[in-house]
């Protein structure tokens, strides 16, 4: 008979707890949290040595995760493309879907000698950090309104050279009008009446300012369109994320507003995810 290790027994207990709590990926989350508290690589976590302190911390984290506290709040970090970011209460946790849009923007400016890129609704600074990491010669600017989220962005962008400002995107970067090569944003886009359909990890833990955006979810998108039109040089591009149900309504914000090449693009799962457009 095979004797299970302490780590395996803990994982089995944790998976049952997370499953009962409605967590979508119980095995994944349990293994990541045990790896986090033991310092053991995830691939070897089933044979990890678990101290009493690590065991108690792990069970506390599993209890919190079962109450739908975001995994990233428990570990204090998340990965985004090729960078790691500090995240926690008060800042929107960047999602893998946003990585596709970020890659599109990077592809648009990578060939330029010294591209100017602006991130609106910066949150943790994930997009700005990825741009400056993958296109080091880029001059990157970012703005975030929420005070707590801004402080997270300060941590993540320290020493990168990114021009981070706190304020409303609507009137940000007047000094850059007509000079920007790319504007990118992951604005709030959830309609106010969609409360019940939003996962508890998002609804109860991500900041409200990063989620809700009017009756149709597009109030912030309209501001992004106006600001991008002001900032971009001729030929410059904008990319803005939206909900998968806004594959037609989000591009419609840009149609008829002096834009060309207005297109909606999909994420890795093939769902409508972000709109792009170019200044003529």
> 187 among the known binding-site residues?
yes
Burial (CB < 10 A; 0-12, 13-18, 19+), residue 124, is buried
Q: Is the Cβ–Cβ distance between 249 and 239 less than 8 Å?
A: no
Q: Is the Cβ–Cβ distance between 115 and 105 less than 8 Å?
A: no
What is the full DSSP assignment across 94-125?
A: P-HHHHHHHHHHHHHHTTSSS-EEEEES-TT-
Burial (CB < 10 A; 0-12, 13-18, 19+), residue 78, is buried
> 144 among the known binding-site residues?
yes
Residue partners of 19: CB distance under 8 A and separation at least 6? 26
> 189 among the known binding-site residues?
yes
CA distance 67 to 200: 9
**How big is the CA angle at 184 (ends 111 and 169), to the nearest 5 degrees?**
135
Which residues fall in the annotated binding site for S-adenosyl-L-methionine?
A: 144, 186
Which residues fall in the annotated binding site for substrate?
A: 186-189
Which residues fall in the annotated binding site?
A: 144, 186-189
């Amino acid at each position: 008979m095979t004797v299970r290790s302490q780590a395996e027994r803990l994982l089995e207990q944790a998976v049952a707890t997370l499953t009962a709590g409605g967590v979508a990926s119980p095995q994944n989350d349990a293994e990541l949290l045990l790896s986090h508290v033991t310092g053991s690589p995830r691939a070897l976590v089933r044979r990890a040595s678990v101290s009493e302190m690590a065991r108690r911390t792990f069970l506390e984290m599993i209890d919190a995760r079962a109450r739908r506290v975001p995994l990233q709040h428990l570990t204090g970090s998340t990965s985004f493309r090729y960078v790691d970011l500090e995240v926690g209460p008060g800042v929107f946790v960047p999602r893998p879907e946003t990585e596709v849009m970020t890659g599109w923007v990077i592809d648009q400016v990578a060939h330029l000698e010294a591209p100017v890129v602006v991130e609106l609704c910066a949150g943790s600074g994930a997009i700005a950090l990825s741009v400056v990491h993958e296109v080091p010669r880029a001059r990157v600017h970012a703005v975030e309104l929420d005070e707590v989220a801004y402080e997270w962005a300060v941590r993540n962008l320290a020493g990168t050279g990114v021009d981070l400002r706190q304020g409303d995107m609507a009137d940000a970067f007047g000094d850059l009008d007509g000079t920007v090569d790319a504007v990118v944003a992951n604005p709030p886009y959830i309609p106010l009446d969609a409360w019940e359909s939003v996962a508890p990890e998002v609804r109860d833990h991500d900041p409200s300012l990063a989620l809700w955006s009017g009756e149709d979810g597009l109030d912030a998108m309209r501001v992004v369109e106006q600001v991008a039109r002001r900032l971009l040089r001729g030929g410059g591009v904008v990319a803005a994320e939206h909900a998968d149900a806004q594959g037609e309504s989000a591009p419609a914000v840009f149609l008829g507003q002096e834009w060309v090449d207005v297109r909606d693009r999909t994420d890795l799962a093939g769902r409508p995810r972000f709109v792009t457009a170019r200044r003529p």
